[in-house]
Structure 1
Amino acid sequence: MNRPEREAAVRQMMERTTPRLPVDLHADVVRRGSRILRRRTIARRLLWLLLFAATVAFVVWASMARPWVEPPSDTTPPLTGW
């Protein structure tokens, strides 16, 4: 069979009968889809938990280190004009 004959045969088969799906295909697709949704939900919750933990850690660090306050001077200014 050459290509045009194969295409014609496939067209005849598709026009003749309605395509049928395997019986257990729907159950497999639903199971896989629910598994994917469950994994996405868990991943999203873990990312939110990680973001919350990082925010809490940053707030605790900022309250302890106080990076906005100018550090005290380690040296004294030179004495001039005595």
Structure 2
Amino acid sequence: MSLPDRREAEVRRLLEQRAAEPVPPDLAERAREEGERLLGRRRALRTALWAGALAGLAALLVWALALDPWTATPPKTTSPTAGW
């Protein structure tokens, strides 16, 4: 027997010796439940991020409307002739 044939025979022997491990009967149900949990967490995170972004946008809008930051500030000094 050559080397590749011997290795192939060894692998075949090992595969034949190994008994098939039983699959739990509720495996599909557990996988579905875990998937639903993961999707729920992702949905909650996405909702929280959108809510945070919208709250930040609303705060920016309120700040901009209240302080009117785009107009120039009036001068703090008075003209020299104003007091005469």
TM-score by length of 1: 0.69
1:56 and 1:13, CA in 2 relative to 1: closer, same or farther beyond 3 A?
farther
Task: Look up the match of 1:22.
Answer: 24
Task: Look up the match of 2:40.
Answer: 38
Shift of 1:58: 0.6
Unaligned runs of 5+ in 2: 1-6
Deviations 1:20-62 (A, max 9, x none): 5321211111000000001111111111111111111110000
Unaligned runs of 5+ in 1: none
Task: Look up the match of 1:52.
Answer: 54
1:13 and 1:28, CA in 2 relative to 1: closer, same or farther beyond 3 A?
farther
1:33 and 1:13, CA in 2 relative to 1: closer, same or farther beyond 3 A?
farther
Task: Look up the match of 1:72.
Answer: 74
Shift of 1:75: 2.3
Task: Look up the match of 2:64.
Answer: 62
TM-score by length of 2: 0.68
Q: Which has the larger radius of gyration?
A: 2
**Aligned counterparts of 1:20 and 1:77: Cα–Cα separation in 2:** 94
**Aligned-residue identity in percent:** 32
Could you say what the CA RMSD is over the residues aligned between the two structures, in angstroms?
3.0
1:60 and 1:13, CA in 2 relative to 1: closer, same or farther beyond 3 A?
farther
Equivalenced residues, count: 72
**Aligned counterparts of 1:49 and 1:59: Cα–Cα separation in 2:** 15
